[in-house]
Amino acid sequence: MIELKDVSKIYNEGRPNEVRAVSDVTLTIPARRVTVFKGPSGSGKTTLLTLVGCLARPTEGRILLDGELISSLPERFMTEVRRRTFGFVFQRFNLIRGLSVLENVMLPAYPLGPDYAELKGRAMDLLARLKLDHKARMKTEYLSGGESQRVAIARALINDPEWIIADEPTANLDSKLALQFLDEVRRLKEAGKSIIITSHDDRIVEADVVDTVVEMEDGRIIGIEERDKS
pLDDT in tens, 46-82: 999 999 999 999 999 999 999 999 999 999 899 989 9
Enumerate the H helices of 53-174 as residue ranges.
75-85, 101-106, 116-129, 145-157
Q: Is the pLDDT of residue 229 over 70?
A: no
pLDDT in tens, 94-143: 899 999 999 999 999 988 888 899 999 999 999 998 889 999 999 999 99
What is d(CA 106, CA 154) in angstroms, rounded to the nearest whole number?
Answer: 9
CA torsion 88→63→37→194, rounded to 10°? 50
CA R_g for the chain: 18
| CATH code for position 190 | 3.40.50.300
pLDDT in tens, 47-57: 999 999 999 99
Expressed as residue numbers, the domain containing 115 is: 2-226
- The total of structural domains in the chain comes to 1
Predicted model pTM = 0.88
